[in-house]
């Protein structure tokens, strides 16, 4: 997997295919492999760029206490510079990747052609939620990211996938254990600090697809429907038989929805 210097670290990424660029931003605490099926689908007609965010997968990490969503968005802009991407991109992010995609819209609007918000949320953490997240971050820092598997994994997938698709569960476990302890903890603290995007949704002025697993218990279909309602002209697609990680659980349906959106964008 290639890498490039970005700000103060080495960032690993996949860059495959030709044509209009599409950036796929993974969720927490995963890496670019959660998009493997979508990278393959997108790269048939477009250019798919899928990084491991700082602290995750094979990318380098930093020593900051918190990695903010703003910093991650700026890292993505720097990655686009490094890859000589000067045309506007479609930014597709799942969950934490969605928080980052929203920040990318806020900070780098001229570089954006479209947004895909998958299984994500617009609101900030509650005070209690943020405090809990910081406690979890301290534990991850001390004991490593694998401690998240027990508490988080059953909430990421449908019960049917957990019970009947061991290959999906195993690949997820591998990703969840693979990050840098300090970096994963810092990203968790950064999510606790993220802004409330709800009042800004009405100002989003690029084509947007909102995609949600029908059984997502973290960013529920009702919450995602509210996001789609608030973004002018946004399209909502609900993926049956998927929880929070719809691209992993229902790769064919998610790739089809993504490709339909990409193919329909104005040139
Ligand atoms: C994710 O999948 O990225 C996480 O569920 C995000 C979060 O914990 O808010």
Distance of CA 81 from the midpoint of ligand 1 (Å): 27
Hey, which of 27, 119, 187 would you mutate to test ligand 1's pocket, going by the most ligand atoms within 8 Å of its Cβ? 27
E strand residue ranges, the chain: 3-6, 9-16, 21-25, 47-51, 89-94, 112-118, 208-213, 235-239
User: What is the distance between the alpha carbons of residues 103 and 39, in angstroms, rounded to a whole number?
Assistant: 22
| Phi/psi at 76 (5° precision) | -65, -40
User: What is the distance between the alpha carbons of residues 61 and 38, in angstroms, rounded to a whole number?
Assistant: 26
Domain total for the chain?
Answer: 1
The candidate with the shortest Cα–Cα distance to 176, out of 188, 165, 164, is 188
| pLDDT tens column, 33-50 | 999 999 999 999 999 999
Average pLDDT, stretch 131-160?
96
Quick check: 267 pLDDT over 90?
Answer: no
Ligand 1 atom with the smallest distance to the CA of 219 is: 5
Check residue 171 and give its pLDDT: 97
Distance of CA 266 from the midpoint of ligand 1 (Å): 31
Ligand 1 atom with the smallest distance to the CA of 119 is: 2
Distance of CA 25 from the midpoint of ligand 1 (Å): 12
Buried b (16+ CB within 10 A) or exposed e, 105-128: bbebeebbbbbbbbbbbbebbeee
What does the DSSP assignment read for 150-161? HHHHHHHS-HHH
Distance of CA 59 from the midpoint of ligand 1 (Å): 19
Average pLDDT, stretch 18-32?
98
Q: How many CA atoms lie within 13 A of 96 on its CB side?
A: 28
Distance of CA 208 from the midpoint of ligand 1 (Å): 20
Ligand 1 atom with the smallest distance to the CA of 244 is: 2
User: What is the distance between the alpha carbons of residues 54 and 39, in angstroms, rounded to a whole number?
Assistant: 20
Hey, which of 25, 95, 121 would you mutate to test ligand 1's pocket, going by the most ligand atoms within 8 Å of its Cβ? 95
Distance of CA 229 from the midpoint of ligand 1 (Å): 22
Domain that holds residue 181: 3-263
Average pLDDT, stretch 62-82?
97
The number of beta carbons lying within 10 Å of the beta carbon of residue 196 is: 11
Secondary structure of 51-97 in HEC code, one letter for each residue: ECCCCCCCCCCCCCCCCCHHHHHHHHHHHHHHCCCCCCEEEEEECHH
| pLDDT tens column, 223-257 | 999 999 999 999 999 999 999 999 999 999 999 99
pTM of the model: 0.98
User: What is the distance between the alpha carbons of residues 49 and 159, in angstroms, rounded to a whole number?
Assistant: 31
The candidate with the shortest Cα–Cα distance to 34, out of 142, 133, 118, 105, is 118
Helix (H/G/I), strand (E/B), else coil: 21? strand
Hey, which of 102, 218, 220 would you mutate to test ligand 1's pocket, going by the most ligand atoms within 8 Å of its Cβ? 218
Token pair, residue 90, equals 């479609």
| pLDDT tens column, 174-232 | 999 999 999 999 999 999 999 999 999 999 999 999 999 999 999 999 999 999 999 99
User: What is the distance between the alpha carbons of residues 58 and 52, in angstroms, rounded to a whole number?
Assistant: 7
**Facing residues of 114 across strands?**
90
Q: Cβ < 6 Å from ligand 1: which residues? A: 27-28, 95-96, 191, 218, 244
Specify whether the CB–CB gap between 48 and 39 falls below 8 A.
Answer: yes
CATH (domain of 192): 3.40.50.1820
The candidate with the shortest Cα–Cα distance to 114, out of 265, 267, 235, 6, is 265
């Amino acid at each position: 997997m290639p890498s490039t210097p970005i700000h103060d670290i080495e960032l690993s990424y996949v860059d495959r295919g030709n044509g209009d660029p599409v950036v796929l931003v993974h969720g927490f605490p995963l890496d670019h492999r959660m998009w493997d099926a979508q990278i393959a689908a997108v790269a048939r007609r477009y250019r798919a760029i899928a990084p491991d965010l700082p602290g995750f997968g094979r990318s380098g990490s930093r020593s900051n206490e918190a990695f903010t969503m703003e910093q991650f968005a700026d890292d993505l802009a720097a990655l686009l510079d490094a890859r000589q991407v000067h045309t506007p991109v479609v930014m597709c992010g799942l969950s934490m990747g969605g928080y980052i995609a929203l920040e990318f819209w806020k900070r780098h609007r001229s570089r954006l052609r479209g947004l895909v918000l998958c299984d994500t949320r617009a609101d900030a953490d509650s005070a209690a939620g943020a405090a809990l997240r910081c406690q979890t971050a301290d534990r991850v820092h001390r004991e490593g990211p694998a401690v998240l598997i027990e508490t988080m994994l059953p909430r990421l997938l449908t019960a049917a996938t957990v019970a009947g698709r061991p290959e999906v569960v195993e690949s997820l476990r591998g990703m969840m254990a693979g990050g840098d302890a300090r970096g994963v903890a810092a990203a968790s603290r950064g999510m606790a600090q993220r802004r409330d995007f709800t009042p800004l949704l009405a100002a989003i002025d690029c084509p947007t697809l909102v995609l949600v697993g029908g059984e997502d218990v973290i960013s529920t279909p009702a919450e995602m429907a509210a996001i789609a309602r608030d973004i002018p002209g946004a399209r909502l697609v609900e993926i049956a038989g998927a929880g929070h990680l719809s691209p992993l659980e229902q790769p064919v349906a998610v790739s089809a929805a993504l490709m339909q959106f990409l193919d329909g964008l104005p040139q």
